[in-house]
Amino acid sequence: MNLACKLFIDGEFEGSIISDKEINIGQNGLVIGKITTDRLIVQGRVEGDINATKVELKSTGKVQGTIESLELLIESKAIFEGSSILKKEKVPAIEEKPKTDKKSK
């Protein structure tokens, strides 16, 4: 799923999510799959890899997988099982296609 808007999930979702905005996983939310976004807030559960600029794991949140981010905030009582990779610079979630000039003959 490719998005250009904010997303709040408070149910179950299986698959990949790509967004250049904020994704918020509510307390009843479960995402199984890869998430690529600018900012991710986890209050529920994520089972899969995360690639984001900023990840916030709230006290009720649980992540199983690899988190690759510029910033990682883990609140007390949150659960993180996996590995964390610190990125050196922000990478856009959605790659822009190069513009080409087409001249008609």
pLDDT tens track for 59-104: 999 999 999 999 999 999 999 999 999 988 765 555 555 555 555 4
Contact 23, 4 (CB under 8 A): no
Q: How far is CA 14 from its chain centroid?
A: 14
Q: What is the pTM of this model?
A: 0.82
How far is residue 15's CA from residue 70's CA, in Å, rounded to a whole number? Answer: 23
pLDDT at 57 over 70: yes
